[in-house]
Chain A
Amino acid sequence: NAGVTQTPKFQVLKTGQSMTLQCAQDMNHNSMYWYRQDPGMGLRLIYYSASEGTTDKGEVPNGYNVSRLNKREFSLRLESAAPSQTSVYFCASSVGPRNQPQHFGDGTRLSIL
């Protein structure tokens, strides 16, 4: 059982390049999330999708877009990467209600030069 799968695991970009981080879950969860983790900052929510067909901004959405492609997949796009977006990105999913735990992927380490 794979759980939450993120690709790629590592990526180096140049400033101004674009890329899409992929996330897929096989647990039939309704809700999916994208977080970034920076030293001393903890996990901060970028965007979330409470259910298939909906997306909402989190705490730090600027510079990102998301697509909930279907129930399984939730992608995060950087249209024009900036050095401030160097971070470790985590995707997570949950059954849906706020009293259910979130299940995390292994993370994508992204460096922008």
Chain B
Amino acid sequence: ILNVEQSPQSLHVQEGDSTNFTCSFPSSNFYALHWYRWETAKSPEALFVMTLNGDEKKKGRISATLNTKEGYSYLYIKGSQPEDSATYLCAFYNAGNMLTFGGGTRLMVKP
């Protein structure tokens, strides 16, 4: 079983703050790293899929970076808004066909 760790487990920020959180994964046999956004009472929605060391992806105020050599990815949210409140999941593919998820970072943005 592959170990995918996310930190912190939860995070409270004020509206307008910028924030970031971390996903750590095994650096061997890397194939892809996924980020998903999961709002309460909804289903997870894909944010990014990254495959290359040094990849940076951006969608609006959210961006992500990838370091496959050291086994980590950062997710950044610039100027957090209450609608950004959700659980952010990362998931790791190695050479197999199984996507292994981390436990998630729960973000709460206070107005």
Residues on A close to B: CB < 8 A? Answer: 4, 33, 35, 40-45, 48, 50, 56, 58-59, 90, 98-107
Which B residues are in CB contact (< 8 Å) with A50?
Answer: 97
Interface string of B20-44 (1 = CB under 8 A from A): 0000000000011010100000111
Q: How many A-B residue pairs have CB under 8 A?
A: 55
Which B residues are in CB contact (< 8 Å) with A103?
Answer: 46
Once the chains bind, are B43 and A101 in contact (CB under 8 Å)? no
Once the chains bind, are B101 and A101 in contact (CB under 8 Å)? no
| A107 to B: closest C-beta gap in Å | 6
Once the chains bind, are B101 and A48 in contact (CB under 8 Å)? no
Which B residues are in CB contact (< 8 Å) with A98?
Answer: 31-32, 93, 97, 99
Given contacts A43-B44, A99-B31, 15 further A-B contacts (CB under 8 A): A4-B43, A33-B99, A35-B101, A40-B103, A41-B103, A43-B89, A43-B91, A58-B98, A90-B44, A98-B32, A98-B97, A99-B49, A101-B36, A104-B43, A106-B42
